[in-house]
Amino acid sequence: MSTILLDQDLQGIKDKVMNGERLSIEDGLKLYDTTDLLTVAQLANHVNEQKNGKNVYFIQNMYINPTNVCEASCTFCGFKRKPGEEGAYTMDEQELLKYVEDRWNDNIREFHIVGGHNTEVPFDYYLDTIRVLKKHYPQCTVKAYTGAEIEFFARLSGLSMKEVLEELVKAGLDTLPGGGAEILTERYRAKMSPEKASTDEWLEAHELAHGLGLKTHATMLYGSIEKKEERLIHMDRLRKLQDKTNGFMVFIPLAMQPKSVNAGLKRRTSAYDDLRTIAISRLMLDNFDHIKAYWINIGPQLTQMALSFGSSDIHGTLIEERISHSAGALTSQGLTREELIHLIKGADKQPVERDTFYNVIQRY
């Protein structure tokens, strides 16, 4: 790869990338500080194409939030409600099935399930949610419950996290989503999500899942009080666990959304920060196959740009996403397969429809 470096301080990093050497947190800080964003992009694109060629993956999936009642008080969340609060809900079996039936099409391959930490229902409620969906839609993968929810279920049920996961797998769980990670440092969690799983507990939940044979996802919620170094520590902790288990399929940087759609633009991440963070993720997480550009948070057009900044996945159709939108996301709540294909082709990439585990369904 021939690149004219505008910032000569990047030469050492370029040499490491071209030789397949792991970048350090100090290297990551240089990538965040440099004004030579296009070189960062070219390096990330090079690494991505070495792993994935021109392929960009997407899935036809449905987003389900069975309950928004939550014990936690994360400062960034606009989705949660307390028991009895206006707008609080907990779907029963009939409501769950009606929700899916009203939005169903025969191309959907995955249910993506995340909800509140609801102490008003027993652990069996969460097991039954999976059982009901598996009974009526056995062809669909169930991607359910974050690492933070696994820790919550352990407290709710009196079981260990391993026992919780074993019960969920028996009910039909196929994979864990990546949420609940936020930023994996205790300084951040003490301020932003004090009632949720600690850094070690979130990582343990995924390590236990990997030990049971599950492949899982990992996220990072950036753009609030964290320092750039904390983002890189977060990536490094994921990288170390991946070295140990090889259980993560994809990393998803999530741009923080303001609490209100009327909030000033200064509260949103910048396009530069979004693209830079995706590129740095690709360069730091050398043992992850995929970096996802999450169109719900950064919008379809910036997602298209991200395909030249190291991203190989743009998530899916979703049908109706609620959590980011309740926090102020300005995007639509779903895109069609045709819209996703058009977006990928417009970036001169190869659209590949996949299942949850990156098996190819169809190339377009």
Q: How far apart are CA 97 and CA 75, in angstroms?
A: 31
CB 230 within 8 A of CB 187: yes
d(CA 143, CA 215): 10
Tokens of 16: 């490491």
Annotated ligand binding at 74? The verdict is yes
Q: Is-contact 46 16, C-beta < 8 A?
A: no
Bridge partners (DSSP) listed for residue 251 = 218, 291
| Contact indicator for 309, 278 with CB cutoff of 8 Å | yes
- Determine if residue 70 is labeled as part of a ligand binding site: yes
Closest CA to 102 of 320, 317, 326: 320
Q: What is the largest CA-CA distance in the chain?
A: 62
Handedness of CA 309, 47, 235, 295 (dihedral sign): positive
**How far apart are the C-alpha atoms of 358 and 179, rounded to whole Å?**
19
Scored b (16 or more CB within 10 A) or e, 249-280 reads bbbbbbbbbbeeeeeeeeebbeeebbbbbbbb
182 is in an annotated binding site: yes
How many whole angstroms separate alpha carbon 275 and alpha carbon 271? 6
Q: Is 349 helix (H, G, I), strand (E, B) or coil?
A: coil
How far is CA 208 from each of CA 247, 272, 312, rounded to the nearest angstrom?
10, 36, 27
Tell me if 248 is assigned to a ligand binding site: no
Contact 1, 42 (CB under 8 A): yes
Q: Which residues are annotated as a binding site?
A: 70, 74, 76-77, 182
Q: Which residues are annotated as a binding site for S-adenosyl-L-methionine?
A: 76, 182
Q: Which residues are annotated as a binding site for [4Fe-4S] cluster?
A: 70, 74, 77
